[in-house]
Amino acid sequence: MSPRALALAALGNVLQKKQQLDEALKPFSSQLEKLESRDRAFVRLLTTTTLRHLGLIDRVIKACLDHPISDKQIEVKNILRLATAQLLYLDTPPHAAVSTALDLATHPRNKPFKGLINALLRRIAEEGKALREQEDPEICSVPPWFWNRLSSNYGEDRARAIIQSQLQEPPLDLSVKSNPAAWAEKLGGQLLPNGSVRLPAGSGDPSLLEGYTEGEWWIQDAAASLPAKMLGRTENLKVADLCAAPGGKTAELASSGAEVLALDISAKRLERLEENMERLGYHNVTVQAADIRDWAESSNELYDAILLDAPCSATGTLRRHPELIRIRKANAIESLSSVQTTLLEAAWKRLKPGGTLVFSTCSLEPEEGQDQVDLFLAAHSGDAARNPLSPEELAALTQSPSEEEAFVPLVTADGDLRCLPCHWRDLGGMDGFFASRLIKKKPAAN
C-alpha cells in the first residue's frame, strides 16, 4: 500500500471505528515496515494533520460542493479530506494532491466519483486558502461540546490560546539522564526551563538520533516530566508508579534512585515499558500487570511514595493525539472521573502514613483534576492533606533554580500543577497536565 492509501485506511478506522491512531494503524504494521522512514512519518503526518484540522477542512469542502456527498460515500469524503489537508496545510503541489487522490478512488464503488473529486480538488486548490481564512479556526476545529466546556472553564481568550497551541504539530521533547545542555547542543535542540531538550516538529525517527540506542534519553513531553519530580527526593525509597506504561514517569523515578514498582493493567503496554527500561539501563524497576483495585487488596505492603497517573479523557494531549477529540464524547468525562475516584481510593490504601501521593491526569477538565482532589480531601479530612507546590520549589525540583519565573503560570493558587497547552507558548507549548501532591497524615500519638 502507498503512504496515502495507508493514511486513508487509518483515517477510516479512526472516524468510523473510533480507534486511536496507533490502534488504527496496527492492522497495517507489515506494510508500514516496508516503507522508508520518511514515508512512514508521512503516513502519520498526513493522518494527524487531517484530524487536527478536520472541522475546518469539512467546512471548506462543503463550501465548494453544489450538493452534499452522501454519508454512504464515506471513503470518498475521506479521500477529499486527505487531499484538502495536503492543499491547505502541507503545501503539496496541486497536481500531486489531485492525482494521488484520484489514485485512491480506484475501488468500483468510488470510480463514479472521480470526476467530482477531480473538479472539487481543483477548485479547493484555487479557492481553499481564501475560504479557510473566512472561518474561525479555533471554534470550528473542535466539536461544540468541547469548545463550550473549554471556554466555560478557562474563558474565551484562554480557550482560543489552548486550541491554537493544539492545532500546531508538536515538537519532540526528550528527558536526558545527565548534562541536558550538552545534549541540546549535540542534537541541535533547545533547552527548556525544566531541563528537557526540545527538538523541532518533524525531527524524524527518534530511534535514529544520537544517544537513543545508548539509552542516554527518553521521549517525554515537558509537562509530563513534572509530576514525578513533585515527589521530591526518592532515592532508596519504595515508590509505586501506577498506570505506568509506556514508562516516561517510571524512568524519572528510576533515575532518582528509587526502588520502583511499575504497575499497569495492560501487559502488552508493559512490554514496551520493559524494553525502555532495558535500553535506559534502569534495573531498579519491578514490573507488574494488574488492576490497581485488585493490587490494593492483594497485599498489606506499603509504599513511601505513590504516583498515580490516572486514566482520563486526555484532552490535554490533543496536539499529539488529535484523533481523541473525534473519539471522545462529553459523557466520557463523567465516567472516567468515577474511575479516577476509585483508583485514588485504592492507591491510598497502599501509601505509608507520612508518605506522599501525587495524583495526575493529562486532562484539561476540572472534574479530572482539582475537583477530584477536592472531593478526596473532603472525604479524607482525617488522614489526608494537600502539600502545596510553589514555583520556587518546582524550579528547584527540576534543578532549574534560575527559571522560577517560567514556573509561575504552572502553579495554581491551591499549590497544584496545572499545565496548559498554551503555556511556554514562545517555546512551543506543552501538553495539558494536572497534578496534586497529597500527604498521608500519621496517626496522632496517644
Which residue of the set 243, 362, 419, 422 is catalytic? 362
Nearest-5° Cα angle at 20, 419 to 205: 75
d(CA 423, CA 223): 10
As given in the structure block, the three cell numbers for residue 429 are 507549548
Whole-number Å distance between alpha carbons of 345 and 296 = 9
Bridging pattern class, strands 172-176 and 217-219: antiparallel
Residues 389/416, Cβ–Cβ less than 8 Å: yes
Rounded distance between C-alpha atoms, residue 34 and residue 101, angstroms: 22
Report CA 132 to chain centroid distance, whole Å. Answer: 27
Residue 422 is a catalytic residue: no
User: What are the φ/ψ torsions at residue 244 (nearest 5 degrees)?
Assistant: -80, -35
CA-nearest of 441, 374, 384 to 412 is 374
Residues labelled as active-site residues: 362
